Amino acid sequence: MFRPSHFAAVVLFALFASVIFGITQRDTPRRMIRYGIYCFVLFVGSAIVLSWLMFLIAR
């Protein structure tokens, strides 16, 4: 059984979803790559920010 950590799962999820979003939501390869990176950073960045927020609220 594959048991990734919560963060590893987030990174894998963000990677796959960003690839699809990049390809389907933009027309040119250059814009696809830029949008894919943008989505990846937003996915992972928002997960990190929300994690810290929940950590601080729970204290």
Partner 1 sequence: MATPVNKIAATGKGSQRGFVYLPLIAGWLVPGAGHFLLRKWGRGALIAASIVGMFVLGIAMHGKLYSSVNDVLDLLGLAGDLGNGLLFVLSRVLGLGADQVQVTTADYGTRFIVVAGLLNVISAVDAHNLHTGRKS
Q: List residues binding partner 1 (CB under 8 A).
A: 1-4, 6, 9, 12-13, 15-17, 19-20, 23-24, 27
Least Cβ distance, residue 10 to partner 1 (angstroms): 9
* One-letter amino acid for residue 19 of the chain: V
Q: Whole-angstrom Cα distance, residue 42 to residue 51?
A: 14
* One-letter amino acid for residue 42 of the chain: L
Q: Whole-angstrom Cα distance, residue 9 to residue 35?
A: 21
Least Cβ distance, residue 44 to partner 1 (angstroms): 15
Least Cβ distance, residue 24 to partner 1 (angstroms): 4
